[in-house]
Chains A and B, each alone.
Chain A
Amino acid sequence: MTKRVTPATLTVDNFIDGAWVGSDERFDVRDPGRRADVIARVAVADEAQVDRAVESAHKALKPWGAISIDDRAAAVLRAADLIEAEAEKGIEGLAGVVVRETGMLPVEIIMELRGAAYAARDNVEAAKVALEPVIVEDKASIVRIEHRPIGVVAAIVPWNAPIVLLIRKFAPALVAGDTLVIKTPPTAPVGVAILMEKLAGLFPRGVINVVHGGAETGAALSAHPKVRLISFTGGGAAAKQIMKTAADTLKNVQFELGGNDAAIVLDDVDMNKAIPTLIAGAFHRSGQFCFAIKRLYVPESIYDAFFDKLVAEIDAFRVGHPMDPRTTFGPINNPGQLAYLKSLVEKTHAAGGELIELGHKVDPESWDEGNYMLPVLVRKPAGDFDIVTCEQFGPVLPVMSYKSEDEVVALANGTEYGLGSSIWTSDFERGVALARRLEAGMTYINKNAQSRLGRRHMPFGGIKQSGIGTENSELGLAEFTEIHAMNFHKV
Chain B
Amino acid sequence: MKTPRNFIVKFAYFLDASTKYNSIKTFFYNLLENDNYPYKKYFDFFMIFVILSSVTLLVIDVKHHVPKWLDALDLYFVTTVFVVEYILRMWVYSDVHKIVIEEYEEALFFSKSLKTSTLLKKIFKDKWEYITTPSAIIDLIAILPSYRGLRVLRVLVLFRAFKMLRYTKSLTSFLEVLKNKKFELITLLTLSGFFIFIAGIMLYVFEGNNQNPNIKNLFDSFYWALITISTVGYGDISPVTPEGRVVTMLIIFTGIGLISFATSIIVSSFSERLTMLREDRIVQHLSKKESITVICGFGLLGRLVAKELEREGVAFVVIEKDENLAEMAYGMGYKAICADATSEKVFSQLKIKTNISHVLCLTSDDIVNIFIAVNVKSLNPNVHVSARCSDEEVAQKMYFANVDQVIMPEEIAGMMAAVYEGEPVAFEVLLSIVDQKDKIQMDEIEITPQSFGDGKKLQEVEIEAMRVILLGVLRNCKTKDSEFIFNPSDDFILRAGDNLVCIGHVTAISNLKRKMQ
Indicate, yes or no, whether A interacts with B: no
Chain A residues packing against B (C-beta within 8 Å): none
> B residues near A, CB below 8 A?
none
